[in-house]
Amino acid sequence: MLRQASSHEDDNTAPISGKTKIFAVVGDPVAQVRAPELMNNLFAAGSFDAVMIPVHVAARDLGQTMNALKSWKNLHGILVTIPHKFAACEQADTLSEMAMLAGCANAFRREPDGTWFAENFDGQGFVEGLAANGFDVTNRRVMIVGAGGAGASIAAALSRAPVKSIVISDIDPDRSAGLARRLKISGCDVTSEALETIQDNVELAINATPLGLSPTDPLPFDPKNLGPECLVADVIMKPAETKLLMAASALGLAIHGGAPMLDAQIELYRKFFGVPVSAAGDPEGAVLP
């Protein structure tokens, strides 16, 4: 689109017109969301006449906004971010297995029959982000701290990978127990434990809490209880290196930050929304295949 042209010469883009397809990313707040920039670059690269805008809407107005967006004849897809990923599920006619397992969704599209289908790519994005960095989750023993949207999504994807076992811990034991119960239907060994009891033999330890966003936050868990082969992963994107990752790194453990989880999802979104791909290997991402 025109608006991405600052970083490219936009030979293959066109201004937004009355025919441009609309996509929205819905959250509260939205100032920090990266999806418009990433997705609009993707649209431009694929010469796809579409634009993604940020929609800043409070929880009380979410239902009205989702219903309105779904009524627009030129609205093709919706991404949903914090804090709306759970509530937005009610707006879908059909949920993917991942969205059902996790209880939350982050991508909505209009199906050919006019109904709305919701998918959850957070967990798959996390798993693919790890794979891109050379870590295969298959048959691993995993611990996840935090059973909110991020933790539930990651746990759901890992339960289907499948991993060997998942132990989930949350400051609200009912929440982690409920998630563990729900994920057992996948056949995976999923349990809920108090934090103190779960750090033996873990091969992948994941922080899925917000602890680490602020430099004054305590560690979500202490990495010194982990074995030397354990990979420590954090879902937090800013800072790129959280206090947890720095502590794990100081202990000689391998670490994995939050950015690859979103980066991996962009390609998943591209496929989900049917955006044409740009030529592989084109550094500008702007040449057609």
Binding site for its own copies (CB under 8 A): 1-7, 9-11, 13-20, 22, 28-34, 36-37, 40-41, 44, 51-58, 61, 64-65, 67-69, 71-74
- Report in angstroms how near the CB of residue 178 gets to its own copies at its nearest: 31
Nearer to its own copies, 124 or 278 (CB): 278
Least Å distance, CB 46 to its own copies, is 14
CB nearer to its own copies: give 5 or 250: 5
Smallest gap from residue 34 Cβ to its own copies (A): 7
User: DSSP characters for the chain?
Assistant: -GGGGGGS--TT-----TT-EEEEEEESS-TT--HHHHHHHHHHHTT--EEEEEEE--GGGHHHHHHHHHH-TTEEEEEE-TT-TTGGGGG-SEE-HHHHHHT---EEEE-TTS-EEEE--HHHHHHHHHHHTT---TT-EEEEE--SHHHHHHHHHHHTTT-SEEEEE-SSHHHHHHHHHHHGGGT-EEEE--GGG--SS-SEEEE-SSTTSSTTSPPSS-GGGS-TT-EEEE---SSSS-HHHHHHHHTT-EEE-SHHHHHHHHHHHHHHHTPPPPPTT-TTS-S--
Instruction: Write down the least CB distance from residue 136 to its own copies, Å.
Output: 33
- By C-beta, is 10 or 217 nearer to its own copies? 10
Least distance to its own copies, CB of residue 172, Å: 29
In this complex, which beta carbon is closest to its own copies, that of residue 19 or of residue 113?
19
Closer by beta carbon to its own copies, 26 or else 102 = 26
